[in-house]
Structure 1
Amino acid sequence: MEDKELYRGKTWIAGGVCAGLADHYNIRKGAIQAVFVLGTVVYLVPVFIYIVLWLLIPKRTG
């Protein structure tokens, strides 16, 4: 199994956190986005989690 670094994706939409998580865990980006959106509608907690991840996960360079 290959060890991958966790980086934010190169997308400009919402900081690339979902794209980076999807790439790291080999999951479809839309599935992660759906979880964040549904969780936000129900609990509002994912907004804070997303902001923390956006601040902690480095942006991919190159």
Structure 2
Amino acid sequence: MATTTLSRPSNDKWIAGVCGGLGQRFGINSNLIRLAFVLSCLLPGPQFIVYIVLWIIMPKKASY
């Protein structure tokens, strides 16, 4: 089930929850997003900078 907002979940995170939040937002398994991120790190580019920026701007999901 995809959520309507982009937020970092507290129950589906390994480091900061960015991949878990992206997975929940777009209805994709978060482990596939993690795998894509790790594989993309083999290529040159700003992957770590994008991850850190998303970590900063994505709010934590409120736990009820």
Q: TM-score range by the shorter chain?
A: 0.7 to 0.9
Q: How many residues align?
A: 61
Taking only the aligned residue pairs, the percentage that are identical comes to: 31
TM-score by length of 2: 0.82
SS in 1 for 2:16: helix
Which 4+ runs in 1 deviate beyond 3 A?
none
Supply the RMSD in Å over aligned alpha carbons: 1.8
Partner of 1:8: 8
**Greater per-residue helix proportion:** 1
Listed as ranges, the gaps of 5+ residues in structure 1 are none
Partner of 1:32: 33
Listed as ranges, the gaps of 5+ residues in structure 2 are none
TM-score by length of 1: 0.85
